[in-house]
């Protein structure tokens, strides 16, 4: 995990909705994903692309909010990517319905050919093929993080999650493992369709966090506080992690790599690594 910047929330904003775009930065999300794909009808694709490019160019360079754009798969993939090359305020591109490592390298090659060296990529894993190719996708050039898309995945596979989403647990784990094995950031969690049921959203988001995701995509501003609540380490978790570092440092100074804490629990290098991750997550930029 780079620890540089891992937003807790990414708010999707339809690219052809200027009234939503104009106030999007005031909604409190750590990051925005301006959408050119499924929130935009076919007849609006060109308009959305030019609206988003113009909007991105109008933003100040030192914005605290990360700005991403979700691009279309298939015939529009490179048209979208080409239009978004070399925009200083853009953090990266989310590749919708990424089918395999070929999509990632095609976009990365195009950006490189345009002289764009900084734009990151976030492949969206939302088809059966992509789930099975996730290890290779995660190894692709410029891949910062994977994102799971469960609505499309359900349509592609016939999986119908129940209230506890147990049916999706195995697939979520595949995405988390593919990310860890490729040594990229932990993945971004799925959109929830619930916009007025904070209790169910909370339970679902806590589950997503336990499963190894470090943030969640949102579709409505009402989801953001719930997602932040879950993905911000509590004071207690931070104190616990700091105490692990302290106890381990004392043990190390005495030449030992394993020690028990005051509650009789083992502290070793693996526990230390976990504590460092908690502190890195606690250090994330907030809005
Ligand atoms: N981004 C920015 N602002 C949003 C927003 C979003 N995704 N969703 C809602 N808002 C704003 C509304 O414009 C409204 O603003 P206002 O109070 O200043 O008028 C406020 O939040 C309350 O919204 P509400 O009236 O409850 O919802 P809505 O009917 O305006 O919008 C959706 C509902 C589903 C159309 C909207 O949430 C949306 O477009 N979501 C994103 C969809 C998307 O991008 N999907 C692709 C990824 S899965
Ligand atoms: Mg989708």
Residues spanned by the domain of 271? 235-282
- Compute the distance from residue 195 Cα to the ligand 1 centre, in Å: 10
- Compute the distance from residue 157 Cα to the ligand 1 centre, in Å: 28
**Closest residue by Cα to residue 189 from 206, 198, 20, 178:** 206
pLDDT in tens, 36-62: 999 999 999 999 999 999 999 999 988
pLDDT in tens, 220-229: 999 999 999 9
SS3 track for 125-165: ECCHHHHHHHHHHHCCCCECCCEECHHHHHHHHCCCCCCCC
The answer as to whether 2 is a domain residue is no
- Compute the distance from residue 8 Cα to the ligand 1 centre, in Å: 19
pLDDT (0 to 100) of residue 32: 98
Residue 5 — very low, low, confident or very high, per pLDDT cuts 50/70/90?
confident
76 with 158, same domain?
yes
84 with 210, same domain?
yes
150 with 273, same domain?
no
Looking at 231, 251, 273, which one is the last position of a domain? Answer: 231
- State the CATH number of the domain containing residue 178: 3.20.20.60
Note the ligand closest to the C-alpha atom of 152. 2
Contact 137, 107 (CB under 8 A): no
- Taking CB atoms and a 6 Å cutoff, what residues make up the pocket around ligand 1? 11-14, 20, 23-24, 27, 35, 38-39, 191, 219-221
pLDDT (0 to 100) of residue 3: 35
The answer as to whether 96 is a domain residue is yes
266 with 170, same domain?
no
The answer as to whether 4 is a domain residue is no
The answer as to whether 1 is a domain residue is no
22 with 56, same domain?
yes
Note the ligand closest to the C-alpha atom of 147. 2
Number of domains in the chain: 2
């Amino acid at each position: 995990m780079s620890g540089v910047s891992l937003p807790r929330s990414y708010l999707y904003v339809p690219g052809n909705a200027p009234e939503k775009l104009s106030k999007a930065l005031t909604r409190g999300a750590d990051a925005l994903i301006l959408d050119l794909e499924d929130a935009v009808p076919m007849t609006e694709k060109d308009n959305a692309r030019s609206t988003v490019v113009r909007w991105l160019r109008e933003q100040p360079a030192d914005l605290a909010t990360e700005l991403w754009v979700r691009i279309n798969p298939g015939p529009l993939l490179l048209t979208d990517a080409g239009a978004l090359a070399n925009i200083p305020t853009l953090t990266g591109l989310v590749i919708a319905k990424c089918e395999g490592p070929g999509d990632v390298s095609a976009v990365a090659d195009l950006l490189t050919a345009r002289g764009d060296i900084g734009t990151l990529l976030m492949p969206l894993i939302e088809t059966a093929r992509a789930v099975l190719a996730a290890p290779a996708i995660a190894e692709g050039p410029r891949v910062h993080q994977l994102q799971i898309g469960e609505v499309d995945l359900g349509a592609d596979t016939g999986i119908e999650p129940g209230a506890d989403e147990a049916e999706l647990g195995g697939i979520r784990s595949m995405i988390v493992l593919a990310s860890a094995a490729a040594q990229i950031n932990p993945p971004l969690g799925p959109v929830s369709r619930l916009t007025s049921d904070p209790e169910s959203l909370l339970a679902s988001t806590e589950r997503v966090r336990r499963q190894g995701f470090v943030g969640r995509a949102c579709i409505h501003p009402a989801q953001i506080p719930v997602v932040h609540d879950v993905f911000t380490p509590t004071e207690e978790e931070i104190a616990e992690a700091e105490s692990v570092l302290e106890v381990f440092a004392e043990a190390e100074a005495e030449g030992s790599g394993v020690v028990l804490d005051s509650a009789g629990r083992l502290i070793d290098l693996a526990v230390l690594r976990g504590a460092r991750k908690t502190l890195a997550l606690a250090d994330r930029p907030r809005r």
